[in-house]
Structure 1
Amino acid sequence: MSVPDWLHAVQNYMRNLQYNHTGTQFFEIKKTRPLSGLMETAREMIRESLPIKCLESVILGIYLTNGLTSVERFPISFKTQFSGHHFHHVVLGVYCNGRYGTLGMSRRADLMDRALTFRTLSELVFDFEDSYRHYQHTMKKIKIGLYVPHNPHVFQPIEWNYLVINACKQGREDMRKELEKHGRDMRMKILKSSSAQSPIKERTRGKSLSPRRRPGTSPQRHQHIHRRDKSPAALDRKPSELSTLSDGYQIRI
């Protein structure tokens, strides 16, 4: 299965769980919790198969894409204002082969997933901002996190708010520059980490051969031949009983 097909299957799975309109939080998600603990919550979501909200969909999306090592995942959070009230939303950003997209859940169909078609991170974020405008929501803040590790057992929390953009005080051009810089920095970190990893040499098991030991020669025999006999008895031996080797060592005949 290709990466776009896999992401599409993950999104369809979350759609089948449906959005949680009950007002009751079925799963507790603490952003400060280690990734390994959040992955356990994702497994619980699969077992229970209950409706989920946006934050739960991010955790579930991370769990279901851990095997796609060519896909980088990072959280994207939005804070908007409508009729004097503030609203928060989060989706899972995905990056693969120079294209950006998202996975997620929302009450609105155009505030959930995006296919891997956006060339830059700013294009992806501005597309969400345009969707919010259709519902008369004003964008207040945008928060971009860092790439989430693919190892589900790491004991570290997800970085949710690495880049915070105040959309009320910045124009689109300034926002574009910050988003593009953040996207480049994340890609460079991945390149540096992959280049810094060197293959681990396997340790050779078994006995190592000494430079002076010949294969097939027992250690006892080798030690007897090359050890100079310094005992007093060796000085009393007759010359006929001693034989000098080429390297100066003597053995008894």
Structure 2
Amino acid sequence: MEVRSTDVEYLYLFVAFLNLSLRSYLTNSISTLERFPISFKTQFSGGCFRHIVLGLYCNGYFGAVGISRREDLMYKPLHYRTLSDLLMDFQEAYTRCWHTLRKVKIGPFVSHDPHSVEQIDWKHSVLDVQELSAEGLRRELERHSREMRLRITKGPPSPPKERKRDITSSPQRGQSSPQRRERQDRR
């Protein structure tokens, strides 16, 4: 049986996806730790390579965990103040491996609900590193991280409150004041 390079690449991406899912599951109980996918596309010796890591955000610091043969591409501790600092460190690590970073794809935060059927948005921000200047890349990364942090502070929408009929919401009307009568539906 002949094995094509695209088959090996898809197998690697599938294993990386399973590892990302496992890391998300294992960190699910840490409510202060926000997780988001980061995908890299690099070029080396004429071939394209892809790498997926789980980005982390906690208490104002960014970091990442992933699987790689190289330690500097596998684990980034939570000490980067900005998302652009984290990704610049990844870019330097790829340069040390003689890889050229081509594209970076960043998704929004992953839900902490273990029963969520929400799909992971892998391509929320797609950044072509070759076309953007260093300042343009930093600006786009800061815009994306600002959007992500706003989602944390906003939180999920609150469920609507049910109004009680016997308690008035007006502070001027006391309990002894007459209540409005409910109208019956006209046919």
Fold match by TM threshold 0.5: yes
Deviations along 1:166-196, one digit per CA (max 9) or x if unpaired, are: 01111111000000110010110121125x4
Residue of structure 2 in register with 1:140 after alignment: 102
Cα RMSD, aligned residues only: 2.6
- Aligned partner of 1:189 among 151, 154, 173: 151
Do residues 84 (structure 1) and 18 (structure 2) align?
A: no
Residue of structure 2 in register with 1:223 after alignment: none
Measure, in 1, the Cα distance between the counterparts of 2:93 and 2:101.
10
For residue 155 of structure 2, give the secondary structure of its aligned residue in structure 1.
helix
- Aligned partner of 1:169 among 131, 137, 141: 131
Mapping for residues 51-200 of structure 1, pairs under 5 Å = 53-193=15-155, 196-197=157-158
Check the 8 A contact 1:54/1:106 in 2, yes or no. Answer: no
Percent of aligned positions that are identical: 44
| Structure with more strand by fraction | 2
Deviations along 1:37-80, one digit per CA (max 9) or x if unpaired, are: xxxxxxxxxxxxxxxx5333211110001100101000000000
Measure, in 1, the Cα distance between the counterparts of 2:71 and 2:129.
23
Measure, in 2, the Cα distance between the counterparts of 1:104 and 1:75.
10
Runs of 4+ in 1 over 6 A off after TM superposition: 23-28, 198-201
Q: Which amino acid aligns with 1:167?
A: V
Mapping for residues 236-247 of structure 1, pairs under 5 Å = none
How many residue pairs align between the two structures? 157
1:197: how far off? 2.9
| Compared CA separation, residues 82 and 157, structure 1 to 2 (3 A) | same
| Compared CA separation, residues 28 and 171, structure 1 to 2 (3 A) | closer
Residue of structure 1 in register with 2:167 after alignment: none
For residue 18 of structure 2, give the secondary structure of its aligned residue in structure 1.
helix
Measure, in 2, the Cα distance between the counterparts of 1:190 and 1:118.
18
**Gap regions ≥5 residues in structure 2:** 1-7, 165-187
| Compared CA separation, residues 141 and 148, structure 1 to 2 (3 A) | same
Measure, in 2, the Cα distance between the counterparts of 1:24 and 1:141.
17
For residue 129 of structure 1, give the secondary structure of its aligned residue in structure 2.
helix
Check the 8 A contact 1:81/1:139 in 2, yes or no. Answer: yes
Q: Which amino acid aligns with 2:101?
A: M
| Compared CA separation, residues 28 and 113, structure 1 to 2 (3 A) | closer
TM-score scaled to structure 1, two decimals? Answer: 0.57
1:27: how far off? 9.9
| Compared CA separation, residues 192 and 24, structure 1 to 2 (3 A) | closer
Worse-superposed segment, 150-159 or 118-127: 150-159
